[in-house]
């Protein structure tokens, strides 16, 4: 592309918005022309995101009263709480594309969406959205106008399970034990994310009721023949960043570790951001990066697959930029090749 992509970030003061800015400021084809945060309107971005000090002169503005005013914008990233993009995206100019990082457009069935999000469904608008799990939905994303960016738990779980579902080898129940850092709860302090409580604690939450369950099941049905019993449990880790998903399943045939490795490496051939781990992934090695590290092991018909990623990058902002790249005909990895820290 000769011209830069003109970008608006709505909801730029939260953790998701912060990561979008951190990535997009160094993207060679991106130009951020608008970043909103109503409670911080008028403040320089660097007053809120100190990590960007000296790197940008952007100033937070209030969200426009009418989204149709964004006629010069090529794409809008919605990093807003659940429920807000539902009303705003229909107002966008016809030519403006959108990537929504909330759950507003992830679920196709209105009754299921109402059950898990307590909101009214998008109706006909929903059919215009493509689910943005890049590695499994790449071709549809390339021609999409609107993207529903996956949830962080859903991204890790789906990347761990998709090759097995596609293979048709699964038999019986799938159990996923997934854990997340506190940043997944957002930038505003709450009793379950306040550091003195979280730092030395470990607990489960939303048993059988997590909003990512229908999202995961829905997408697995599009990947392959999926009608297995599915148990998904989430836990709170005493760390700030990271998702670690342990996925247990049975197969119809006895498999060796070599069989598993070949299956996964074939499925993710050409997917730069999927890395293979021989033993176990570690959230330290994916932190602040767009990588998802995967390992798999088998004992006869019993299989366990581990997946680790950064919930704010591959689980949110990084995957959103990965999808933007595809939508605008760019190399998928553009602006996203950076390593995590060590340690």
Active site residues: 152
What are the backbone angles phi and psi of residue 217, rounded to the nearest 5°? -60, -40
Contact 80, 98 (CB under 8 A): no
State CA 306 to chain mean position distance. Answer: 17
- Locate 45 and state its tokens: 């971005």
- Dihedral of the CA atoms 223, 228, 231, 237 (nearest 10)? -30
Residue of 294, 304, 301 whose CA lies nearest to 248: 304
Contacts of 2 (CB under 8 A, 6+ apart): none
Contact 135, 117 (CB under 8 A): no
Rg (CA), the chain: 20
* Residues linked to residue 304 through DSSP beta bridges, in sequence order: 248, 297
Q: Is 308 left (phi over 0), alpha (psi -120 to 50) or beta?
A: beta
- Strand 5-10 to 30-36 pairing: parallel
Contacts of 202 (CB under 8 A, 6+ apart): 235, 236, 237, 238
Sign of CA dihedral 34, 328, 91, 84: negative
Q: Cα dist. 340→132, 164, 288 in Å? A: 23, 28, 5
Residue of 264, 262, 259 whose CA lies nearest to 306: 264
């Amino acid at each position: 592309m000769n011209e830069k992509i003109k970008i608006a970030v709505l909801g730029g003061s939260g953790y998701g918005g912060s990561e979008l800015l951190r990535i997009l400021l160094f993207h060679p084809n991106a130009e951020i022309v608008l970043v909103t945060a109503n409670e911080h309107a008028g403040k320089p971005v660097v007053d809120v995101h100190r990590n960007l000090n000296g790197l940008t002169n952007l100033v937070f503005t209030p969200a426009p009263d009418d989204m149709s005013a964004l006629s010069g914008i090529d794409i809008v990233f919605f990093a807003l709480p659940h429920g807000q993009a539902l009303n705003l995206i229909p107002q966008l100019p016809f030519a403006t594309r959108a990537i929504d990082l909330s759950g507003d457009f992830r679920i196709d069935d209105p009754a299921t969406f109402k059950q898990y999000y307590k909101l009214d469904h998008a109706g006909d608008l929903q059919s215009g959205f493509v689910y943005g799990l890049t590695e499994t939905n790449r071709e549809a994303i390339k021609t999409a106008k609107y993207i529903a960016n996956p949830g962080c738990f859903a991204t890790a779980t789906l990347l761990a399970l998709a090759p097995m579902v596609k293979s048709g080898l699964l038999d019986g129940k799938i159990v996923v034990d997934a854990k997340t850092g506190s940043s997944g709860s957002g930038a505003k302090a709450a009793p379950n994310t306040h550091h003195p409580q979280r730092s030395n604690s470990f607990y489960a939450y939303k048993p059988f009721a997590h909003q990512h369950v229908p999202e995961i099941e829905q997408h697995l049905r599009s990947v392959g023949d999926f009608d297995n019993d599915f148990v998904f449990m989430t836990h709170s880790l005493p760390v700030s960043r990271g998702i670690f998903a342990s996925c247990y399943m049975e197969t119809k045939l006895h498999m060796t570790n070599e069989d598993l490795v070949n299956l996964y490496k074939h499925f993710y051939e050409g997917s730069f951001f999927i890395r293979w781990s021989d033993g176990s992934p570690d959230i330290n090695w994916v932190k602040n990066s767009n990588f998802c590290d995967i390992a798999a092991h088998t004992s006869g018909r019993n299989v366990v697959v581990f997946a680790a990623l950064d919930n704010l990058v591959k689980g949110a902002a990084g995957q959103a930029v990965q999808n933007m790249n595809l939508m605008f005909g760019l190399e998928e990895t553009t602006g996203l090749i950076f390593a995590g820290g060590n340690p």
